[in-house]
């Protein structure tokens, strides 16, 4: 589904972000993370939207899938943002299992009445051409889900930029967070505005 086709179907004005260290603001002040910046942006534009950041550093799609049912039951979000898969890739876990986990999370989110958005990730070439190809194919299958909002590479413009990556070579710096927000905003702006309009009626 295109972002412009957003429909409000959840039972609250909550946005649930389920991610890993990238969304958990690993290594930087949590107030500087992209999710916190999103919350700040919405505070002036649409204060009725409640952002819940359920991201955990080191999280895999298996861990996210295990946690999601309880999070959906508690928060009843209208929009579920999934930013997972990076740790599956870095640990060399099965791309097919990652795909199944993401598909199950999408189904759970939609079953709970939430619109689902997936912030995709790509793997660096040093993991091997065969694995990278399988990983990309799995992410491409997620993108084919007709009702899901999908972004191919959430770290676009950040990955590979030495001045935007911490000394561990993996995690974005505080300076990179506005770029991550802009990347996410390209996908989330229209559904968030639709949610804002609905919640203020």
- Annotated catalytic residue: which of 8, 21, 55, 88? 21
- 177 in any annotated domain: no
Q: Which of 161, 153, 160, 147 is nearest to 184 (CA)?
A: 153
Instruction: State residue 200's pLDDT score.
Output: 54
Which CATH number do you get for residue 78? 3.40.50.1110
168 in catalytic set: yes
21 in catalytic set: yes
Instruction: State residue 34's pLDDT score.
Output: 98
- 68 in any annotated domain: yes
User: Of all residues in the chain, what percent carry a pLDDT higher than 70?
Assistant: 93
- 131 in any annotated domain: yes
Each residue of 18-32: pLDDT tens digit?
999 999 999 999 999
44-53, 57-66, 176-185, range with the lowest pLDDT: 44-53
Q: How confident is the model at residue 198 (pLDDT cuts 50, 70, 90)?
A: confident
- With a cut of 90, say whether residue 201 has pLDDT above it: no
Instruction: State residue 27's pLDDT score.
Output: 98
Q: Phi then psi for 10, rounded to 5 degrees? A: -70, 170
- 89 in any annotated domain: yes
Instruction: State residue 75's pLDDT score.
Output: 97
Question: 89: which residues sit within 8 A by CB, 6+ positions away?
Answer: 95, 98, 121, 123, 127, 131, 135
- 87 in any annotated domain: yes
Domain count, the chain: 1
- With a cut of 80, say whether residue 104 has pLDDT above it: yes
d(CA 199, CA 201): 6
Each residue of 143-182: pLDDT tens digit?
998 899 999 999 999 999 999 999 999 999 999 999 999 9
- 166 in any annotated domain: no
- 161 in any annotated domain: no
The pTM for the full model equals 0.93
32 in catalytic set: no
Domain extent, residue 25, equals 3-156+182-199
- Annotated catalytic residue: which of 8, 75, 88, 171? 171
Give the mean pLDDT of 83-106: 98
């Amino acid at each position: 589904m295109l972002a412009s086709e957003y429909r409000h179907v959840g039972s609250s004005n909550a946005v649930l972000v389920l991610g890993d260290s990238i969304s958990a603001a690993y290594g930087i002040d949590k107030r500087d993370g992209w999710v916190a910046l999103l919350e700040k942006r919405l505070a002036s534009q649409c204060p009725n939207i409640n952002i819940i950041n359920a991201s955990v550093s080191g999280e895999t799609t298996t861990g996210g899938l295990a946690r999601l049912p309880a999070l959906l039951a508690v928060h009843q979000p209208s929009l579920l943002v999934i930013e997972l898969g990076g740790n599956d890739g870095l640990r060399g876990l099965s791309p097919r299992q990652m795909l199944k986990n993401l598909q199950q999370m999408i189904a759970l989110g939609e079953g709970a009445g939430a619109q689902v958005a997936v912030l995709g990730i790509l793997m660096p070439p040093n993991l091997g051409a065969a694995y990278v190809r399988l990983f990309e194919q799995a992410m491409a299958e997620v993108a084919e889900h007709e009702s899901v909002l999908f972004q191919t590479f959430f770290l676009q413009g950040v990955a590979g930029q030495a001045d935007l990556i911490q000394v561990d070579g993996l995690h974005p710096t505080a300076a990179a967070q506005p770029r991550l927000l802009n990347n996410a905003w390209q996908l989330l702006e229209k559904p968030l505005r639709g949610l804002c309009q609905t919640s203020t009626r």
